[in-house]
Copies of this chain bind each other. A is one copy, B any other.
Amino acid sequence: MLARACAQTHDPGIRYLRGNLERVRLQASSFDLVFSSLALHYVKNLGGLMSRVRRSLISGGSLVFSVEHPIYTAPSSPRWRTASGRRFWPLDGYLEEGPRSTDWLARGVIKQHRTMATYINMLLRLGFSISEVNEWGPTRSQRASQPGWADERKRPAFLLVAARR
């Protein structure tokens, strides 16, 4: 999740550590980039982690992360449905934040559903400024070349956010 602040330390290497995101301690003003890929929607105390991440960044440093999109994590039954010959994503529970149990790789994997507004406002209140938001789905041509992606422009699967301290 963490890239060393190479510009500051003149250390071209990357050191890999393993830790629990619920309580990892990070050195203050030590990183020019914090990057996370599809991990933060499993973290319960995301506000605590983001606060520690912010302190760990140098001034002007960047936070870039992806999570499962809130539209993807919200539903009580996250499987495509068909009605009147059309397939759609059965959205419910969007404003009800909290755990969702899913069977993915293992049974009973717990994700934390949060709204888009919660992700964005959490960063703003911690003093980040938002640089860009991306609700990822395949392009039309990517979808055309991948039969399994037929429905993937009906709702975004991933949310990507770039922010700056």
Contact = CB atoms under 8 A, between A and B. Distances in A.
Contacts of A94: 71, 135, 137, 153-156
Contact of A95 (B81, B92, B93, B137): B137
Majority SS of interface residues in chain A?
Answer: mixed
A91 B71 contact: yes
Interface residues on A, range: 35 or more
A91 B93 contact: no
A77 B89 CA distance: 12
Interface string A87-118: 11111111110000000000000000001110
Contact of A154 (B83, B93, B131): B93
A95 B158 CA distance: 12
